[in-house]
Amino acid sequence: MELLIEKDSAAVAVRAADIITEFIPEQPTLGLATGSTPVETYRELIQRYESGEISFAGCRAFLLDEYVGLPHEHVQSYYQTIRRDFTRAIDIADEDVHSPNGAADDLARAAADYEAAIEEAGGVDVQILGIGTNGHIGFNEPGSSLSSLTRKKALHPQTVQDNARFFAEGEEVPRQAITQGLGTIMRARRILLLATGAKKAPAVAALAEGPVSAFCPASVLQWHRYATIIVDEAAAGELKNIEYYRFAAANR
C-alpha cells in the first residue's frame, strides 16, 4: 500500500488526476465514487478534458453504489450525482456510465446483474474511492464481509446522519443501498482512495495501520496489490508511521 500525503485537498485532486491521466491512453474502465471528496478530482479531470489534454472517448464507468428507493430522476440519486459532478462534462457516452438500480423491484437480482456487468466489461482498471468516517468504502459498513460481492446493505446510522446534509430538511434519508462488495472492489486493478480533512483522520489511521478487520472495511485494501491512498495533511493527522510515508514518497 502506498501512502501519499499532500498539502491540501487541491493538491490531493491534482495528484489523483495525474494518476488517472496516466491510464487514459488505455481507454480504462473507471470505477467512480460519489461523495464530496472526489469532486475536486473530477473538476481537475474536466479541466484537463476541456483544455484538450485528455479524452475519455472509449472509456466506461461503473459507480460503487446507489441508494435503495431513489429513482434515477431523484436529484440525490448517485445516478444523477455522478452525471452532475463529472460525466456530463466529459466525452464519455451516457450509456457507458453504469450504476446499480436501487429502484428495482428485485434488488437481489439487480445486485447480481450489476456484479455480472462489471465482470462482462472486463473489470475495473482504476477505482476511485472515498472513505466514510467509520471506515466504510462504497456502502460496505463495519461488519461487511471482506469478500462480499454487490448486494443490498443497510447503512450505519452514522452514515445516514453524515449524508443527511445532501437531502432537504424533512426529507427521508435512505437507509439502504446497493453497493459493490469489498470483494468486488478488491478486483479492481488499481485503487486510489482519497481522504481529506481532520474528520477522516481516525478512519485513515485505521485503514492503513490498524488490523485488517471487517470493523474497518477499508482496511481490506492492505491486501490489495496496488492501492494508493492520497490524503491531505489534516487526514494524515493520526498516522503513526508518517515519517516513513514521507520518506518513501520522496524516494519512489
Instruction: Please answer whether residues 220 and 212 qualify as being in contact, where contact means their C-beta atoms are separated by less than 8 angstroms.
Output: yes
Task: Specify the residue for cell string 476511485.
Answer: 128
Nearer residue to ligand GLP within complex by CB, 29 or 54 = 29
End-to-end CA distance of the chain, in Å?
Answer: 13
Instruction: Please answer whether residues 225 and 186 qualify as being in contact, where contact means their C-beta atoms are separated by less than 8 angstroms.
Output: no
Active site residue 101: no
Active site residue 141: yes
Instruction: Please answer whether residues 211 and 189 qualify as being in contact, where contact means their C-beta atoms are separated by less than 8 angstroms.
Output: no
Nearer residue to ligand GLP within complex by CB, 139 or 245 = 139
The grid coordinates listed for 168 are 432537504
Which of 134, 162, 163, 224 does the annotation list as catalytic?
A: 134
Task: Specify the residue for cell string 472492489.
Answer: 185
Which of 6, 65, 85, 115 does the annotation list as catalytic?
A: 65
Nearer residue to ligand GLP within complex by CB, 29 or 134 = 134
Instruction: Provide the 3-class DSSP secondary structure of residue 32.
Output: strand
> Closest separation between CB of residue 143 and ligand GLP, Å?
15
> Closest separation between CB of residue 247 and ligand GLP, Å?
28
Nearer residue to ligand GLP within complex by CB, 100 or 130 = 130
Active site residue 140: no
Tell me the CA distances in angstroms from 20 to 7, 29, 45, 181, one per residue in order: 19, 11, 9, 23
The DSSP-derived string for 166-205 is: GS-TTSPPP-EEEE--HHHHHTSSEEEEEE-SGGGHHHHH
> Closest separation between CB of residue 132 and ligand GLP, Å?
5
Which of 141, 156, 224, 232 does the annotation list as catalytic?
A: 141
Active site residue 134: yes
> Closest separation between CB of residue 162 and ligand GLP, Å?
7
Nearer residue to ligand GLP within complex by CB, 114 or 139 = 139
Site residues (vs ligand GLP, CB under 6 A) = 33-37, 64-65, 130-132, 138-139, 159
Which of 101, 125, 136, 156 does the annotation list as catalytic?
A: 136
Residues designated catalytic: 65, 134, 136, 141
